[in-house]
Structure 1
């Protein structure tokens, strides 16, 4: 399906370009029930796929009462988010905010304000390794598009001057955001799809549905548990292989699983691999011997931000940071096929790929 690039929220994880980060492994399909109790029914799974946020979004609700109206409502929710938080869609709130950079406070919706506020909180806690003002560098590198190439050093140095989350000022009472320097660009790509997953999950729960899977191009939200009371089984992508190959499985319910990795969007120039996760300190893709970071937690907004944050922090700092988040767990995969995890991951994750091993 063709779709103009300018009409989407570019996230630092795009399933349409290469492998998605996480693969669903549950056995059910659209015409087959998950449990013996419902096997006689023609279908207890209703699903719909959409092209939005520069990816394929698939929502599966495991309830025969789910209606076409539900999926229309979900479509409307996503379109609203796209119109609010797309960096590149002309006329969106975020686009207009960026156009207003250097011109004083700009009023935004409560939703946009809250997401920017959350992004700035992660920026503060990671000392700028998570950087919502990375937009000028993202535009310069243009990774994920046909004309991506290594920029000139002078251009990188110039754009780096525009990257500084401390120059974003918030006024919560008036719901305004100010970008202090002309040319600054806020990019919510590292948090926007997670926010969308949370919004969809809330809608599904509010309608009384207790079992669903939301897949935003590899950002997975497992709502409730599988029919029959079982945990969902989610595969964690092998970053060295094509889509569908996994290093292990996580068994979860009411959890979201999000991965950031070097294989999601990239290009190769003169034999060197350049991935999409940019270092706000150097202006180049992060280089720290990590291939991917996977987060398991309750809110997808946090999972989205954490996966990028920990990848940018690197293995040692990332492990220390995740241990300050008791509600979240992380899986780090290094370039030498070692798997490092946070202390509580054992209750979720089993390593199944013989080419990988837990680090001692």
Structure 2
């Protein structure tokens, strides 16, 4: 069995990367750091003198998010909930409640293509904190894990979170990173910063422009595990950008490739031809969740939903012959400029 699993900034499950496209300016302040098992890169137009103090506040805020929802931290709030073998409500914090409310809504919207209760299934396939597995699980093992899952088994009432199945566990990795981007962007705005680009592990949120009115430009990578080639450059404006793909996070067994993207309804990795999904939304948390859900739903269902709800979405399929086919929702087409390059 061969595993290939790289962090989101380097492997780019998120796939989006920065495109500088301008000469350096003293007005653009840049900081970087580590969080959520990956890296962050933040740029804003403002006073460099406040960078150190602001980065401390950003790091503290992200530590709080991790302490709330990182299933990799044994003492986090989500880890406590996962080990809480009772159906009685447990009190959670505001961050956790915000992400859970969004997760429940997304599950309803996508008919459970996104379901944050499938932690046992993710672990079963070797993509969770327990690490790699030696072989693909059996149908019986999948059925047993599915019996412990289901968003309908979770209830949220203000800050009271409960589960009807005591052994149910949560994994918020499909949405919590986007929430992290949002809280950092909100923190910048609280400090009267109106032009910025926030990136955590490939997920981004942008606002305003660079000096001289130049737009923030984002490059989306071609979903090819053999190399790193730019595919599309966009100017998102005041939007968040999230991209999901499985081409650098999978394992192989006896020549069969198993994606890290698990369909909660089947309990098995996806088998559609989608290689990459990019979603734009005012909320990075929402873009993050939909990018994962659309990867599972497939091209036809995703485009239908995106057009019905006027969502900017780009889908890249890889054909059997290895060719890439691109599909845009109607709302995404306004962000596409074929003349744009990464230079």
The TM-score, its normalising length taken from structure 1, stands at 0.85
SS of the residue 2:162 aligns to: strand
**Residue 185 of structure 2 corresponds to which residue in structure 1?**
201
For residues 128-277 of structure 1, the aligned pairs below 5 Å read 128-143=112-127, 147-148=132-133, 149-172=135-158, 175-241=159-225, 244-277=228-261
Deviation at 1:111, TM superposition (A): 1.8
SS of the residue 1:228 aligns to: helix
Q: Which of residues 45, 51, 65 in structure 1 aligns to 2:28?
A: 45
CA distance in 2, matches of 1:294, 1:255: 12
CA distance in 2, matches of 1:234, 1:144: 30
Deviation at 1:330, TM superposition (A): 0.2
Deviation at 1:252, TM superposition (A): 2.1
Q: Relative to structure 2, which stretch is displaced further, 118-127 or 92-101?
A: 92-101
1:331 pairs with 2:314: yes
CA distance in 1, matches of 2:79, 2:184: 23
**Residue 57 of structure 1 corresponds to which residue in structure 2?**
40
Q: Relative to structure 2, which stretch is displaced further, 192-201 or 150-159?
A: 150-159
**Residue 303 of structure 1 corresponds to which residue in structure 2?**
287
Does structure 1 retain, via aligned residues, the 8 Å contact 2:13–2:246? no
CA distance in 1, matches of 2:276, 2:13: 12
SS of the residue 2:95 aligns to: helix
**Residue 342 of structure 1 corresponds to which residue in structure 2?**
329
**Residue 26 of structure 1 corresponds to which residue in structure 2?**
20
Q: Name the count of aligned residue pairs.
A: 329
Q: 1:163 to 1:301 in 2, by over 3 A?
A: same
For residues 283-294 of structure 1, the aligned pairs below 5 Å read 283-294=267-278
Kindly report the root-mean-square deviation, in angstroms, between the aligned alpha carbons of the 2 structures. Answer: 2.3
Deviation at 1:197, TM superposition (A): 0.6
Does structure 1 retain, via aligned residues, the 8 Å contact 2:13–2:244? no
Moved >6 Å (runs of 4+): none
Q: 1:47 to 1:122 in 2, by over 3 A?
A: same
Does structure 1 retain, via aligned residues, the 8 Å contact 2:28–2:211? no
**Residue 39 of structure 1 corresponds to which residue in structure 2?**
none
- Structure 2 spans left out of the alignment, 5+ residues: none
Q: 1:144 to 1:86 in 2, by over 3 A?
A: closer
After superposition, what is the alpha-carbon deviation per residue over 1:18-70, rounded to whole angstroms, capped at 9, x for unaligned?
A: 675111112357xx22xxxxxxxxx3332222221111111122323442000
- Structure 1 spans left out of the alignment, 5+ residues: 1-10, 34-42, 354-360
